Structure 1
Amino acid sequence: MSHLAPTLADLSSAELAAGFRAGEFDPVAVLDAVAERAAACEPTLNALWHEDFEAARMSAAESAARWRAGEPRSPLDGVPVTIKENIAKRGVAMPAGNAAGDPQPVACDAPVTAHLRAAGALVFASTVMPDWGMLSSGVSSRHGITRSPLDPALTTGGSSSGAGAAAAAGYGPIHIGTDIGGSIRLPGTWLGLATLKPSFGRVPLDAPYLGRAAGPIARRVSDLVAAMDIIGRPDVRDYSQLPPLDGDYTVADYSVVGKRIAVLTDAGCGMPTDPEVAATVTAAAGLFEAEGAEVTSIEPFMDERLLNDIDRFWRVRSWADYKRLDSDDQRKILPYVAQWCLAGADIPGSELMRCYHGIQEMRRATVAATAEFDLVLSPVAPVAAFPAEWPMPFNDPTQTMGHISFTVPYNMSEQPAASVNAGYTVDGRTVGLQIAGRRFDDAGVLAAAAWFEARAEVPQPVRVVG
């Protein structure tokens, strides 16, 4: 293994904008640094599904001209960005991580992609994901295995696996993923990143779905804020979108003094929390308390029934996708995912409705348990990173997704939840702190994450490349 030497590819979006403005370097030089980094890392990491540095370089030259004229479109003009393969990018196919069929290029950009392009960002690549996004790893029947830049033997997390790997490796400062049960935040905890799963409807989607959100993944909270200022704006194609945000995604002079903060280290269901993970979260809560927050431990509000209900609901959804395939394409689906969704075959409608009502009960319970608090601190996942070859933190597709009990409640309650690196296990694996807030308070959650990032001063993970 060899350490990655810092280059222009590692600068924050604010540092890039400052350099562009001062004429110290231009977007073409930055894109070249990103291309060089990707060329060095991709044989090991396998983060990118589609890349087009040639087209991006033309856009970079146009951006450079705008900066020289003092007329950038936005602070992200000329900043390299990747998007997950299930977010439409004009002219690029969307195989959803699986090897079935022959997916064709799409005709239109998704709202997120369109907003980024309009801002002048350089959308140079789509990042990989596992089959249908139904794994919390980088294992895919189409793409193979995506590996961690921190240790290629370990998982990236998923399903925003490629986005997480690209962020951790420094393929530019901002990467966009999606999250329906933890798929943005899980790469966050297992790669030592900053992430945001926004309030439902805050970032527009052209295919909204129960609990699904798109959001940014980065190495710094400031880049999450910069991304949200662009992608967290309305688009009429999202019929679930929230009203336009009044202002931006920053909170001036943020303080935790007097904030009511809950701490939860036992989810009440799923996998038990590793003591090292729990201790890291408890220490983080102590920092908030020492600075004047009112910190209270709360009891679990999830249970096995609620976790089982949403797991079964998703199995039925994926079974419907699987069943539509012909026999040849069914054989191309990752065997773990095929076996997992088989348990959703021929579920009676009455049982599916019971599971749906279970999801609504999860939503009610989450809001009721957290409503009196400004923030809720918890682990992102109950365990640290596992081997890259494993589809899940366990290798049994008959098991419920017992690792998402801290994350999935906030998808269903539609509340924002960020993650930020909070420390390391004894053997050096990263542990993320989840910071959830009240619905619509995305700016407050980001401010709390930035506050913790600055106060805790957790060292950045060391990246290596094979």
Structure 2
Amino acid sequence: MTDPNDLTARELAARVRSGTLKAREVTRATLDRVARLNPAINAIVQDTGEEAMRDAEALDARIAAGEEGGALAGVPVTVKVIADQKGYATTNGTTLAKDLIATEDSPFLRNMRAQGAIVVGRTNCPAFSYRWFSSNKLHGTTSNPHNPGLTPGGSSGGAGAATAAGLGHIAHGTDIAGSIRYPAYACGVQGLRPTPGRVPAFNQSGPDRAIGPQLMAVAGPLARRVDDLRLGLEGMSGYAPDDPWSAPVPLTGPAVAPRVALVKRPGGIDTDPRILEDLERAAEVLRNAGWQVEEPTQVPDIREAVELQIDLWLSDAHSDKLAAAKLEGDPGAIALLSFYEERARGIDLATFSALFSRRARLIRAWRAFLVDYPLVLMPVSAELPFAQDEDLRGPEALARLWEAQVPQIGIPLLGLPALSVCSGVEAGVPCGVQLVAPPWREDLCLDAGEVLERSFGLHPPG
């Protein structure tokens, strides 16, 4: 049988639909690969193998009976443990939720299953999904497949590591401060943060999210190939009545002026020379593809977006968050929340209300900028992937890490889609660039991302 990892998700699904490749064969091969490779990286932390085989056999039977298999027919996917999957614990990486068994699938997963996707495992995250590192007391530590000394990223670090290792074609992740884009960057794969409302998400197992996550947190795909992201987005998306933010917006939009803003140091960050070099390479690739790439002297503020993001996410109900982190006993969550504890005390109702006026002004400025420049090319991070657990080295280290992440933290507050594209892996250290587009124009990110991917190539672990 053809190795499923040699096929794109679209090619694989086409063969399963035609009957030339059986979903059960693809699933068995993927589960065998998980059994071989996952113990070394601990990316998949909840086993769904038996259910996956049942679902694959049922899909083969439907196709044999003449039914349509779906756009994701037989495609192996993984789901982050932050999301409801019927019959499994929605742990979010905590012992506190180890028995929180979902009774229904989250709507994005319903959509993917309806298109024939097969869930081959559930992936790790840090406790409460707070960190750019992926370890917790319940599921253990996830390692970077390229280099165990580096973080696989977070909070969707299990998704990034599984994708890089070929443990499924499409991984589900979530992103409120870079939690899709950073694991993709750290693991040498591709990751798409969609526009809020594009991919429906709702956990029946728990309470509704607080205001910050409602406004900024999204679900989206990670994959080795940009076209796999495109197919994953198509499969996840759609209006769902149980997600009040979901919207039935077309996946493609009208033609735009082919102008790109190259922003090497968003917010004035001190960017690593290798990242700057890869941004220049990406700019030249886009120029050769017909894009007009410019370095504008005036770029809307992104630092204020970071500040507002911190207040809307971490400062809201901060004391409850810190109490839960202490009850869990997770050092990473405690370190982060303690770092912002004094700041959170200064957020009263009037200050919190004023955040939304400031947010509206920033969004207005960025949307106006994106009329002139429909695509922005910028770093994912100002630094190469962090050392494993580097955020536990004290407040100074934590402050430096958050400074490096300015390019990704500010984007969620602005409500924009963004794509992390791997630009290469050198001596076991991945790197990448970020593309940002106007709301609902993931298609622009994906189109440009495919151009970059053809030049940069794919980079599986050695």
Tell me, yes or no, whether TM beats 0.5.
yes
Cα separation, 2, equivalents of 1:393 and 1:447: 40
The structure carrying a bigger helix percent of its residues is 2
Q: Aligned match of 2:296 in 283, 294, 298?
A: 298
Read off the aligned partner of 1:72 and give its amino acid letter: E
> The residue matched to 2:216 in structure 1 has which SS?
coil
1:373 aligns with 2:373: yes
Inter-CA distance 443–337: structure 2 relative to 1 (3 Å threshold): same
Contact 2:308 / 2:413 at 8 angstroms: preserved in 1?
A: no
| Aligned residue in 2 for 1:218 | 223
Q: What is the aligned counterpart of 1:47 among 29, 39, 43?
A: 43
C-alpha distance 366-250 of structure 1, shift in aligned 2 (>3 A): closer
> How far did 1:58 drift?
0.7
1:287 corresponds, among 285, 288, 312, to: 285
Aligned counterparts of 2:287 and 2:327: Cα–Cα separation in 1: 57
- Partner Cα distance (1:290, 1:10) in 2: 28
Alpha-carbon shift at residue 57 of structure 1 (Å): 0.4
Shift of 1:70: 4.2
**CA distance in structure 1 between the aligned counterparts of 2:292 and 2:105, rounded to whole angstroms:** 45
Gaps of 5+ in 2: 203-208
Look up the match of 1:3.
none
CA distance in 1: counterparts of 2:138 and 2:404, whole angstroms = 24
Structure 1: how far apart are the matches of 2:229 and 2:436? 15
Instruction: Identify the residue that residue 237 of structure 1 maps to in structure 2.
Output: 242
Give the aligned partner of residue 386 of structure 1. 386
**Which consecutive unaligned segments of at least 5 residues does structure 1 have?**
1-5
Letter paired with 1:236: P
- Contact 1:53/1:124 (8 A) holds in 2: yes
Distance 1:400 1:384, change over 3 A: closer
Work out the CA distance in 2 between the residues paired with 1:141 and 1:446: 36
**SS where residue 366 of structure 2 aligns?**
helix
Question: Residues 219, 250 of structure 1: CA spacing in aligned structure 2 closer, same or farther, 3 A cutoff?
Answer: farther
Change (3 A) 1:315 1:334: closer
State the Cα distance separating 1:394 from its structure 2 match.
8.2
Identify if the C-alpha distance between structure 1 residues 392 and 161 changes in structure 2 by more than 3 Å, giving closer, same or farther.
farther
Instruction: Give a deviation string over 1:75-116, Cα, whole Å, max 9, x none.
Output: 212211111111211122222223335442022211111111
Paired residue type of 2:191: T
Label 1:101 to 1:225 Cα distance change in 2 as closer, same or farther (>3 A): closer
**328-337 or 133-142: which moved more?**
328-337
SS in 1 for 2:377: strand
TM-score scaled by length of structure 2? 0.88
Q: How far off its partner does 1:344 sit?
A: 5.3
Q: Does structure 1 residue 191 correspond to structure 2 residue 171?
A: no
Q: Deviations over 1:375-412 (max 9, x none)?
A: 11111111111222334898644668223321233322
Structure 2: distance between partners of 1:213 and 1:443: 17
Partners of 1:87 and 1:327 lie apart in 2 by 23
CA contact (8 A) 2:75 2:118 kept: yes
Structure 1 partner of 2:419: 418
Alignment partner, residue 310 of structure 1: 309
Count residues in correspondence.
449
Percent identity over the alignment? 28
Deviation of 1:330 after TM superposition, in Å, equals 5.1
- 1:363 corresponding residue in structure 2: 363
Letter matched to residue 275 of structure 2: V
Secondary structure, in 3 states, of the residue corresponding to 2:390? coil
**2:150 match:** 154
Say whether the 8 Å CA contact 1:138–1:146 is kept in structure 2. yes
Name the aligned partner's letter for residue 408 of structure 1: I
Q: Which moved more, 1:29-38 or 1:405-414?
A: 405-414
